[in-house]
Structure 1
Amino acid sequence: MVTYITKGNIFKLAGVHAYAHGCNCAGAMGRGIAVQFKERYPEMYREYLRRCKVGEFCPGDVYLYKNGKEAVFNLGTEKHWRLGAELSFVEQSLTGMVELAKAHHIDRIALPRIAAGLGKLDWEEVKTVINRVAGDEAEVELLVVEEYEP
């Protein structure tokens, strides 16, 4: 199931302990919401960087980081930050995220408007992919915040 929230902050949603965001596979988290993830979860960032450097995090991949009761799904939506996202990478990583969430008994994941800001994709096309992957999903609810509000 997908619930769209017009404005908000994924880190302030009540009852949410799992988050996702689109990532490049070049090891850069220097802009957008990625900076907040990097600051909140420095160990996650170090492992993400290591995986990127050795080719263990590629477009379409999902890197799940767990920290106590919190979880972060890093979605490989871009090969490199200069190139932008690709819809096929978005779909593959979202599909992998939903499967990992089920395996880890994670039933709610908050995410921002992925791949349409710095990723340069059309948001309506990305929403179509999100709805196709998770729209009928009963075990995992995606809470998608379309516009960031501090």
Structure 2
Amino acid sequence: MIVERAGDLLRDDARALVNPVNTAGVMGKGLALQFKRAFPAVFAAYAEACAKGRVSPGKVFCVPVDGARWVLNFPTKRRWRSRSRLDDIESGLDDLARVLAELEIVSVAVPPLGHGHGGLDWGTVRALIAAKLGSSDVDVRLYVPESEGGAVA
């Protein structure tokens, strides 16, 4: 089930928080920068994984935090200056669905992946998220963009 929300994704009490990242090891803008500040150990693990070539489009990089919680680093861009590609969002959502099931995650907070700094159309992204995660038993909390009353991602 998907419920749209506005506000600060980092304050959500979901079992997993999705962090929109690139594959270059840089968390320099937007929500990724907020994650870097809030979870320095997550950034360190992500940067090391990027340096070793273990972060790639279509694959979620999972880091446990606070015992039973997760930060799910979701590559929305190949390079930090690049625009997002819809096919990367689509394959990433497929992997996110797999990860949610594999880790038995019951709730997840998801930003507007690829929108904002990524440049993708929100309506297209929203429809893709709904198609890929809408039939799941997971409580999906979709944070809408600022233009829709939510936060920038």
Structure 1 equivalent of residue 117 of structure 2: 118
Partner in structure 2 of residue 148 of structure 1: 151
Q: Which runs of 5+ in 2 are unaligned?
A: 145-149
RMSD: 1.4
Greater helix content: 2
1:72 corresponds to: 71
Please name the residue that 2:147 is paired with: none
Q: Is the 8 A contact 2:108 2:139 kept in 1?
A: yes
Which residue does 2:30 correspond to in 1?
32
1:3 match: 3
- DSSP-derived class of the 1:30 partner: coil
TM-score (normalised: structure 1):
0.91
Q: Distance in 2 between matches of 1:85 and 1:76?
A: 9
Give the whole-Å Cα distance in 2 for the aligned partners of 1:30 and 1:117. Answer: 14
Give the letter aligned to residue 48 of structure 1: Y
Q: Aligned letter for 1:4?
A: E
**Is the 1:81–1:119 contact (alpha carbons within 8 Å) kept by the matching residues of 2?**
no
Structure 2 equivalent of residue 41 of structure 1? 39
Alignment of 1:53-72 (within 5 A): 53-67=51-65, 68-72=67-71
- SS of equivalent to 2:120: coil
In structure 2, what is the Cα distance between the partners aligned to 1:77 and 1:34?
A: 11
Q: Please state how far the C-alpha of 1:26 moved relative to its aligned partner.
A: 0.8
Task: State the shift of 1:141 in Å.
Answer: 2.1
Counterpart of 2:3, as a letter, is: T
| Counterpart secondary structure, 2:37 | helix
Corresponding residue number in structure 2 for 1:128: 127
Distance in 1, Cα, partners of 2:17 & 2:29: 17
Q: How far does residue 98 in structure 1 lie from its aligned partner after superposition?
A: 1.7
TM-score by length of 2: 0.89
- Between 1:43-52 and 1:15-24, the stretch displaced more is 15-24
Between the aligned partners of 2:69 and 2:25, the Cα distance in structure 1 is: 22
Q: Which whole-Å CA distance do the structure 2 matches of 1:75 and 1:9 have between them? A: 18
Q: CA deviation at 1:11?
A: 2.5
What displacement does 1:21 show?
2.2
Q: Which amino acid aligns with 1:100?
A: V
Q: Distance in 2 between matches of 1:135 and 1:31?
A: 28
Q: Is the 8 A contact 1:59 1:89 kept in 2?
A: yes
